[in-house]
Structure 1
């Protein structure tokens, strides 16, 4: 079977943290990397991944940079480097690497992070431009909603409450909402509160708390009410 083949076809040159990488990650890197560099690149990528999970972001970035030197065309290498740089607040590196990841993989999963980086870089025109592009792409609902949260929050920061409200209100939560739905509703409550509609803001706030009593940011929202 294919599953059995995935076990028996395990590479014999994996060392260090590379042994714990998923088979598809190993195969993808090997496909775009000169053979003599594959083993060392996988070892560096494995160490970068472990460090990232352990929140050792400086180490993760260092190892991801080593992996990039060896395997610059691998999407996962660029992804882990971009996310590590993002966690460190190194916005320019993070943006470059996550854009490279999106170009190499075709995956839109980190567009929300790209938008947040552009916000941090105070590039409002680029935030708006990326959002307009993103709307034309075929993103999964969860990816769209994560990006929507960032863009609506950006509009709030810009003082454009009406545009933000048009994106996130009315905020109606269904039973057993997904985490991204709670985030959208939370931004909706913020917009309503800032517009002076405290009744709507409290209603949405209560719905969010009912779904997740530990939802982050509720205290900040309460200060607006």
Structure 2
């Protein structure tokens, strides 16, 4: 709303493309975000979108700078967890842990607080503190039977930490619970369970392609053999003297 109409439309189109592409083609999404940033760098939504596009392409230093700019413009703390995760991406898990203890965390909504807990647990694992990571994830949100948008990811992270600690039976149980809550396939809990149970998946399409290639090879071999045989017969006919 702060931009002239034509410029606002141009910026909006680029932001729409960022949103559409960020999951399937993050590099292209990043390119659109840079265009929007050149057009309207003083708009908080543009800085936030540029931050997420940079984050998706693992440009963590750039993402952190954009998130900080957006936070300054809006005064909102909702980007705090992803900012902490950028610190992890930059190899600074201790800074992420420090951010987990800042007053901003108390201002987050429930989803934001769960996200911050996930980031803090990841930072603990980065520092080799596996038991502490497990304890960090233990919470009322984890124990609750209610299913929220973040439930599957929280349960999955807990299962993954348990498995890393060698607690396979508990990990299997929590991967199962993650799968129960994962209605939109946001985790690969089913694959992890199958892997733990020794189930190996085979791509049916690959099998069909192999069979087709084998059949083609057999047909070509047969055709070559028939051609060779026919050629031998012709040669023999040429060598045989004609009858008067």
TM-score normalised per structure 2: 0.66
Helix, strand or coil: the match of 1:179?
A: coil
Residues 43/169 of structure 1: CA separation in 2 closer, same or farther (3 Å cut): same
Correspondence list, 1:1-150, <5 A: 27=1, 30=2, 38-55=4-21, 57-58=26-27, 60-133=29-102, 136-150=105-119
Distance 1:96 1:84 in 2: 12
* 1:77-134 Cα distance to aligned partner (Å, 9 max, x none): 1111111122222222111001111221123333332222211111123212222226
Q: CA RMSD in A?
A: 2.7
Distance 1:182 1:68 in 2: 34
Native 8 Å contact 1:58 1:88 kept in 2: yes
Native 8 Å contact 1:83 1:94 kept in 2: yes
Ranges in structure 1 where 5+ consecutive residues have no aligned partner: 1-26
Stretches (4+) displaced over 6 A: none
Number of residues paired by the alignment?
A: 190
Distance 2:133 2:195 in 1: 20
CA drift of 1:140 comes to: 0.2
Distance 1:153 1:105 in 2: 27
Residues 209/65 of structure 1: CA separation in 2 closer, same or farther (3 Å cut): closer
Partner of 1:17: none
CA drift of 1:187 comes to: 1.4
CA drift of 1:204 comes to: 1.7
Q: Taking CA–CA contacts closer than 8 Å with sequence separation of 6 or more, which of the two structures ends up with the larger relative contact order?
A: 1
